[in-house]
Amino acid sequence: MRRTALLASAALLATLLPLTAAAPASGAGDPAPVPVDRFEGEVPFANPPAEGIFTWGGDNDDPPALTLTARDDAPEGEKVLSGTYDISGYGGFTHDFASAEPAHDWSAHKGIRFWWDGRDNGKKIIFELKDGGADGGASELWTTSFTDDFTGWKQIELSFTDFTYRTDHQPVGGIDHILGLTEMWGYAVTLPVGVKDRFAMDAVELYGRADQSLKASVRTDSAVYPTDEGRTATVRFTVATTGSAPLAEPVTVTYEATGGTADPGKDYTPTTGTVTFPAGTASGTTREIRVPTIKDGSAESAETIPLKLTVTGAKPPAETPRIVVDAHGLPYLNSRLPVRRRVADLLSRMSLEEKAGQMTQAERGALTASGDIATYALGSLLSGGGSTPTPNTAEAWARMIDGFQLRAQATRFQIPLIYGVDAVHGHNNLVGATIMPHNIGLGASRDPGLARRAGAVTAAETRATGIPWDFAPCLCVARDDRWGRTYESFGEDPALVDAMETVIQGLQGRPDGRDLDRGDKVLATAKHFVGDGGTEYGSSTTGTYTIDQGVTKVTRQRLEAVHLAPYQTAVDRGIGTVMPSYSSLDLVGDGRGPVKMHARADMINGVLKDRMGFDGFVISDWQAIDQIPGDHPSDVRTSVNAGLDMIMVPYAYKDFHKTLVDEVRAGRIGERRIDDAVSRILTQKFRLGLFEKPYADTSGASRIGSAEHRAVARRAAAESQVLLKNSAGLLPLRTSQKVYVAGSNADDIGNQSGGWTITWQGSSGDITPGTTILEAMRKNSARLTYSKDASAPTDGHDVGVVVVGETPYAEGVGDVGNGHDLELSTADRAAVDKVCGAMKCAVLIVSGRPQLIDDERLAGIDALVASWLPGTEGDGVADVLYGKRPFTGQLPVTWPKSEAQQPINVGDASYDPRFPYGWGLTTLTEVPQGGAATLRALGVAAAAAERAGAKEAGRTLVTKARLIVQQKAGTEITEAMAGPFAEADHLLLTGRYGAAVAKLRAAYSAA
């Protein structure tokens, strides 16, 4: 699921140029305009902390290309700033002041203006200011916009009163939430998404004279005030000034409770009055207004009472506060009634518009205004990857989501939002959360109990921040390691994916949903239905992707056996939601060709809901219905009629809501289909207990990132390590050895965590608290030398450990052929060759998929470990390196010899890998001994265990046989040996223990 963070990082923050010579005055009595940016070359293209103009974007294609271009029609001077752009996520440019120089004081001016060369494309251009703080990276962001609906040069004037505080992203936690204008750091321009175009800009300057309304403001402590019928609502409002100076002039606030859906005299006591803040009043002074409500004893839906405020002498609140008399006495509010009856009662009262709202999900940062939650009766919000509150803390997440839930209380039936995130390996958007190994590492552990515990930790940390819904787990069966989402899969074998679905119980609790209202459980999502792991290389039509979101071409038999099987297990485990895949399904013989999964009613309605009996709701992927052929109304009716119940329309929620209503009224979507969808959504909201407890239960917040939770992640990291080669028993290391550590991934928490960590794509560096592999090794060895590039002298060391591999990526951005391959980097290969050429060495590969090791390099490596993406707990890796725990992991995917072998999977007719599926050496103190006779005896015992249903005994017997085969094979893995060896692990996972040992006997004979 694509989760582009909306204007995501501090690098996006906008900044301004140093002041230059004054221009002519703009009006009588006004100060002279002050040029900010002339674009004549006086400011370089440069990044912070230096002063300069720089670009940014969601991925490599998104930053615009900028030049200073000489134009005869330049509004000022000889040159203008011009550029081209083609943005799919987000992108724009910034001008930052130098961090070492003082901030600028713009408080004397009315606003900022500039010339824009209009393209008449009807697109919104976002303009942003940076205000206050220590520098450009620690300031508040204030934003406004204009529409490019004209042609040629036009001077755009943006009054400072038009700028609003950004609620979707702030680099800091908020300085004073006042546009102070006395410490300005710059500006940024965010260019339109989804249009390939060019732009030109010139002559940025300050204009006009400020007045007190620019320096003083009145704000209320909330926009919505729910209250029980018969209680008195209290509205608090505060006057604040730039720089916290006392008021220079009086400010008056006249208030009147009027209008709305409540009846004056019947539902509330009419209230009017005026409050004056005299000149000299201290900034931050607060007053209260009280509005009594009246209890009439009848059952009612919620009623609103707008509190109209008229402010003189200051900027008024951005919106009119509303008092809400809570809904009461209606059956759906009775928690003692069965969920089915509550759903039926509520559904019977809802209008079509309210039902459409429940089916609409928006990205929280894309809300035009928070009031849209009530205006459109939205059912859900989500945070895309990297779409976080600021500061990115558990407390800030809870406050943010509570604020959104408060808005939902202003709706007629006060249906709570269901907020969703991609917590795919821990609560990975939250700095400080416990980050688990990605699914591929959990698959390597072959430990269903561990997967369940990892899910439980993820659920507890996610719910403690107010989030009740997780877009996980991914049940994809990864059949081609060139896929950028390979690490999101538990493995290439549907039997392995099936075995690891215990994670669902860790997330949700018991299959009947009775645990969902607990403060440590979340609603889980099985994704991506169906066949996302089977897309053919080169079939993607999404941007520069090569395989992600492509076409899965299979027979129905293959679809059932490989890709559908895990979903039946998920349904049996009570999965609450299912997300279809972006990919297309081309069923051989059905005559339809490739059809987008979001449009396949035969699979969603027919297979998932009807045949499998799925009773949760289906949520679309990010903007995924836009990929269905046809116009927007066609996309809406096709997807909803195919069985989608809630549509993720992060930016287009208004258009979707209107279109859905129109399609129903036109008879192109049936009302029964709408009622079914909304019933499914409401059912999960009731099960989650959101009607009784819509706000965050933060009682578990103290356990986020706790030692207890990190211990689970540490064990998961240890069990995920797969020992591929171990000549002469080099591993485990001894604490007495002098160790030389090198490699790009030895000391990088971002690299070892991978994509979907803090941001969508993840990033290298110290992005969240944790322990790197190097830091963990230092705890075990006092005699350790670290040299990232292996440039330090290698003499005098007993053993080398080189930690190499990939840098973070997510989804199709990581596809091979899209700027990625399966090769180690040049620097990594050089580090391996230098260290392993100088001493005995172990190489750890930190990656989301296998990396290619040729024969010559493998021969020079004494021990080779597939470390996958272990997460924040590098101690788990050190635990197996130093023998505190044995290596027990097994390959969840086949490790190929070359990229040309892709796709290569267990069960292939031609199967000649570097290391077969299921391979994994051990450092147990006693490795089973024996030969052909021992294997025959193990086979007899395994068959008996299978007949008796003795699972643990059967698995133990097969494991002993596997270790015997591996010991004989060593590093000489032949094609004749690899095939039956890999198939044995598949048979083990399906409970056929006798057959598994029989395959291992064949592998032993071929070894």
By annotation, the residues acting in catalysis are 621, 811
Residues 6+ apart with CB under 8 A from 373: 367, 381, 404, 407, 408, 410, 411, 417
Three-state secondary structure readout of 686-746: HHCCCCCCCCCCHHHHHHCCCHHHHHHHHHHHHHHCEEEEEHHHCCCCCCCCCEEEECCCC
What's the DSSP call for residue 109? Answer: S
Instruction: Measure the N-to-C terminal CA separation of the chain; round to a whole number of Å.
Output: 43
What's the DSSP call for residue 153? Answer: E
**Residue 727 near residue 429, CB atoms below 8 Å:** no
Token look-up 């940014």 returns 56
The one-letter amino acid at 627: Q
Distance CA 682, CA 687 (A): 9
Cα–Cα distances in angstroms (integers) from residue 773 to residues 436, 742, 781, 785, 883, in the given order: 14, 11, 12, 13, 15
Return the closest-CA partner of residue 873 out of 457, 460, 416, 373: 457
Rg (CA), the chain: 31
The β-bridge partners of 585 are 552, 595
**Residue 440 near residue 484, CB atoms below 8 Å:** no
**Residue 479 near residue 536, CB atoms below 8 Å:** no
Residue 652 exposed, middle or buried by CB count within 10 Å (0-12, 13-18, 19+) = middle
Return the closest-CA partner of residue 320 out of 408, 387, 259: 259
Find the helix packing angle between 951-969 and 993-1006, rounded to 10°.
10
Count the alpha carbons within 13 Å of 198 in the hemisphere toward its beta carbon. Answer: 10
How is residue 964 written in tokens? 């015997």
Distance CA 966, CA 781 (A): 30
**Residue 50 near residue 95, CB atoms below 8 Å:** no
3-state secondary structure at position 294: coil
Residues 6+ apart with CB under 8 A from 889: 444, 445, 446, 719, 720, 721, 722, 723, 866, 920
Percent of the chain as helix, strand, coil, to the nearest 5? 30, 25, 45
